[in-house]
Amino acid sequence: MTESLFLKNLWYFAIHGSSLKQGKLIGKEILGERILFGRDKDDRPFALKDNCPHRGVPLSQGWYDGNIIQCCYHGWKFDHSGTCVGIPALADEKFDTKKIKVFQYPCKEINGTIWIYIPQNKTQLQGAEARLPNLLIPADKKFLFVEKVIMPADIDHAVIGLIDPAHVTFVHQSWYWRSAKNLKLKEKKFEPVDLGFKMTRHKPSSNSKGYSILKGGTSTEINFQLPGIRLEHILVGKNEVVSITCLTPINEKETELNHIFFTSINFVKYVWWPLRQLGKQFIHQDLGVFRKLGEGLKSKPTLMLLGEPDAQARWYHELKRQWDLSQQNNTPFVNPVKAKTLHWVT
């Protein structure tokens, strides 16, 4: 079986909720599909195929009064469900415009972030909510937005970069993180979980200075889930920090990275600006090396995955393969990852 680049029948991060205002439309490309996002009068997000069914003009280029979306070309009108509710030029008043529909994607707001479900078959949406992501914080709490960047790589390269432990020392060299001169042998225990795997809870590495400001019995657990979500849950005494990186394919050549953050530590709100700047610097270091990677991949070199440092990358490809098989054969997904202790030097 040839591995699919894009996984379907899963939820993808779309937008941080703070960007989606009432009366505003946002058009995005996700997995090569044009999608329109908006909020209805009750502040609930919705997502529609971003093409007018008449002549194909993006509906996101039209007008929206908070209730009705109107195409900028011929003025066709649609409600939030994608149902056509008016065609100004139509003289035949007996024609039922409600027979015309724009596809509506399942769309949910979770902890202040907007997620969209991309189906394999647009006529089969049952069971979508069973796979909603668990973002690890109470339903009434919201994530702060850190940064969004476009990675010049497909989703596979982006994910492998996200879960690769060996690059951190060399790409993220900083006084507040670690140095390539201060390498240590790491031993981490992994377990399969849900649609991925987790690095079980452990004390952060002593050569990772970024954790040193967190006092009070610090421990961390790192979880990766298909289609491309990395969740780090840090306990600091009775408080918690949740840092999530979400990868959303734009098309076959670009992947959007969004980073969101939550903590119950009260003093963080007073130092949020410098913390956000550090997070953005970290992300842009990755972006810089991915631009170099893009140059290298133009010559289509033979690539390899080697040893335990690349074990998570191999797990990712096997998880993708098993998810594809389960969706094509309509069988339960079986996580292929086995519990294992991995070693690497960083």
Residue-wise pLDDT tens digits, 70-129: 999 999 999 999 999 999 999 877 889 999 999 999 999 999 999 999 999 999 998 899
> Residue 174 — very low, low, confident or very high, per pLDDT cuts 50/70/90?
low
Is the Cβ–Cβ distance between 82 and 102 less than 8 Å? yes
pLDDT (average), residues 290-305? 91
Listed range (30-44, 54-68, 139-153, 179-193) with the worst mean pLDDT? 179-193
Q: Which token pair is 140?
A: 């009434």
Running DSSP on this structure, what letter comes out for residue 204?
Answer: P
Structure confidence at residue 108 (pLDDT): 97
Q: 203: pLDDT confidence band, cut at 50, 70 and 90?
A: confident
81 domain-assigned: yes
Task: Give me the pLDDT at residue 241, please.
Answer: 93
Distance (Å, whole) CA 199 – CA 221:
6
Nearest to 173 by CA among 135, 210, 199, 146: 210
- The 10 Å CB-count burial string (b at 16+, else e) for 194-217 is ebbbbbbeeeeeebbbebeebeee
Looking at 96, 131, 166, the residue that finishes a domain is: 131
Do the domain assignments include residue 3? no
Q: Which residues contact 169 (CB under 8 A, 6 or more apart)?
A: 178, 179, 180, 183, 346
| pLDDT at residue 216 in the model | 47
DSSP conformational letter for 6: S
Q: Which pLDDT does position 222 carry in this prediction?
A: 95
Answer for the pair 116, 49: CB distance below 8 angstroms, yes or no. Answer: no
Residue 311 included in any domain:
yes
Last residue within a domain, chosen from 79, 100, 131: 131
Return mean pLDDT, the chain: 91
Label residue 227 exposed, middle or buried (CB < 10 Å: 0-12, 13-18, 19+): buried
Mean pLDDT of 198-224: 72
Q: In terms of residue numbers, what domain contains 290?
A: 144-345
What is the spatial distance between Cα 225 and Cα 134, in angstroms, rounded to a whole number?
10
Same domain, 126 and 149: no
- 260 pLDDT band, cuts 50/70/90, is very high
CATH classification at residue 222? 3.90.380.10
**Per-residue model confidence (pLDDT) at position 267:** 85
